[in-house]
Amino acid sequence: MTKRVPVKRRKKVSYDGKKADKAIKYCESCNRCWETDHMQKNINHYKDFPTYKKERKVCMLCKKIKGAHVS
Ligand SMILES: [Zn+2]
């Protein structure tokens, strides 16, 4: 007996600007917008960035300054 495995169709993952914009947070500690790259190794700050409706989250840089561990 052989089981028939349904073939899953893979949807194409699209990386557009809107998606990247969602990852941008706003740091209330240094008053800047920021985001990490996909490897979460580097952090980018955006000085002149609209903070409207951005998620409030202290950036890694400020966490490090405060001595908190960044996982
Ligand atoms: Zn910060």
Calculate how far, in angstroms, residue 62's C-alpha sits from the geometric centre of ligand 1: 4
Terminal alpha carbon distance of the chain: 49
Protein residues within 5 Å, CB atom, of ion ligand 1: 27, 29-30, 59, 62
Going 18 to 20 to 21 to 22, the CA torsion angle's sign is positive
Candidates 67, 54, 64; CA nearest to 27 is 54
* pLDDT for residue 69 is more than 70: no
Calculate how far, in angstroms, residue 18's C-alpha sits from the geometric centre of ligand 1: 23
Model pLDDT for residues 12-60, shown as the tens digit of each residue: 655 554 555 668 999 999 999 999 887 878 889 998 888 888 999 999 8
